[in-house]
Structure 1
């Protein structure tokens, strides 16, 4: 468990990540990545994407696979939420065709009410405040 808990807050909802379907990337016998997702009607939300080995295409392969899963399930949209501090994710997803779809200013205030252990500062010391929605139309 990389994040210390199976609980995650997004868009003001507390989720138990252990209940969602997932895709596991293997390198030999070693698990090197995990993508969890949820399908709701004709939309598929990427709930989490973790690559334990950077620079070898783990995240890209998982993202391409979930696109296939979503299309097979009849989804027309793949989307996700990230936070304003996660500049790596913003670059990663946009390079793979995702577009900025919505900004939720100060969303982390509500998230901290549900999960108080969310820090005030995120990656690179950036204040952790906003949620950003990205989407890819399938």
Structure 2
């Protein structure tokens, strides 16, 4: 049986105004209390700060959707930038996932 997944969505923000770790810890606690087996999220290949943040908190890459941002840009939202502030081309979605204890 596949463990249920807690899906948490948050819009992108150019500035983070609150520390992320307490939020993730609270989400983990709620998800565990609901008997959910994992947390997963979606970010993009250019978001190096988020990739570092989540890996340091036990998330591992569950999937990479090559070209997913290109597809979204072409089909849904042409205003998605093609390059980030670090000069990294934005092409792919990366799905970090964390299995929760007891699952």
- Give me the TM-score of the superposition, normalised by structure 1: 0.63
Query: 89, 94, 102: which one pairs with 1:132?
Result: 94
Q: Provide the aligned length of Structure 1 versus Structure 2.
A: 94
Shift of 1:47: 1.6
Specify which of 47, 59, 63 is matched with residue 86 of structure 1. Answer: 47
In the TM superposition, residue 48 of structure 1 has moved relative to its aligned partner by 2.3
Q: How does 1:87-106 map to 2 (within 5 A)?
A: 87-106=48-67
Matched residues in 1 for 2:17 and 2:87: separation?
A: 22
- Greater strand content: 1
- Structure ranking higher on relative contact order (CA contacts 8 Å, 6+ apart): 2
Deviation at 1:115, TM superposition (A): 1.5
- Quote the RMSD (CA, aligned, Å): 1.7
Query: What is the DSSP-based 3-state SS (H/G/I as helix, E as strand, rest coil) of the residue aligned with 1:136?
Result: strand
- Gaps of at least 5 residues in structure 1 are 1-40
In structure 2, the residue corresponding to 1:127 is in which secondary structure? coil
**Structure 1 runs of 4+ off > 3 angstroms?**
none
Per-residue CA deviations over 1:48-75 (Å, capped at 9, x if unaligned) read 286315xxxx200000000111112221
Q: For 2:81, which of 97, 100, 119 is the aligned residue?
A: 119
